[in-house]
């Protein structure tokens, strides 16, 4: 097997291993399943181009997802707002109150900045440390701390009804 074949095989294995997690992360950043899938394709293409020079492909993939989502968010800001009352993603079955809470959480997350969403998703959804989150986002640990604090405060003000989630299991957002 040649070096090119080995690199292709390694990249194909990486794509199989990381695609589902990257798509979930992109969905949580964008709030739109189709846009998340497109974002992952763009990010994987960028990883493929630099495959042999990247030390940590998973971290690089998340960084590209974040920067591309931020670029899309800046472009979208100039357009009129879209309706946030889309149907929940396929398979989002559950009790009616859980569905309502998922919708409230989704709408509140959509009103955060991309960086705030990324920090919350990395810290609480992917259970990353502050240091890992800072490395993935290319910022200081203090920035992660302050963005987390600001994002949680904004969520509390946007959706005070989410406070009742304390002590209850959090409903799935992405399924």
Q: Each residue's pLDDT tens digit in the chain (175 positions)?
A: 567 888 889 999 999 999 999 999 888 888 888 889 999 999 999 999 999 899 899 999 999 998 888 877 665 565 555 555 555 555 545 556 677 777 787 888 888 888 898 898 888 888 888 998 998 888 999 999 999 999 988 888 888 877 665 444 444 544 3
pTM: 0.51
| pLDDT score at 74 | 65
| pLDDT score at 103 | 79
CATH of domain 85-175: 1.10.10.10
Radius of gyration in angstroms for the set of CA atoms belonging to the chain, rounded to a whole number: 17
Q: What are phi and psi of 169, to 5 degrees?
A: -65, 140
| pLDDT score at 140 | 93
| pLDDT score at 96 | 60
Task: Go through the chain and tell me how many residues it has.
Answer: 175
Architecture of domain 1-82: Orthogonal Bundle (1.10)
- Token output for 139: 């910022």
| pLDDT score at 23 | 92
- Token output for 92: 């989002």
| pLDDT score at 5 | 85
| pLDDT score at 143 | 93
């Amino acid at each position: 097997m040649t070096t090119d074949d080995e690199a292709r095989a390694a990249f194909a294995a990486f794509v199989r291993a990381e695609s589902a997690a990257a798509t979930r992360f992109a969905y949580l950043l964008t709030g739109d399943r189709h846009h998340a899938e497109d974002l992952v394709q763009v990010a994987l293409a960028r990883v493929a181009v630099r495959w042999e020079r990247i030390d940590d492909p998973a971290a690089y993939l998340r960084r590209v997802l974040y920067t591309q989502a931020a670029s899309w968010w800046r472009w979208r800001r100039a357009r009129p707002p879209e309706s946030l009352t889309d149907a929940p993603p396929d398979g989002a079955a559950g009790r009616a109150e859980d569905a309502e809470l998922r919708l409230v959480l989704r709408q509140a997350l959509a009103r955060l900045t991309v960086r705030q969403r990324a920090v919350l998703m990395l810290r609480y959804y992917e259970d990353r440390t502050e240091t890992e989150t800072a490395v993935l986002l290319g910022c200081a640990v203090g920035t992660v701390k302050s963005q987390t604090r600001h994002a949680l405060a904004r969520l509390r003000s946007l959706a005070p009804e989410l406070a009742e989630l304390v002590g209850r299991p959090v409903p799935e957002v992405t399924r």
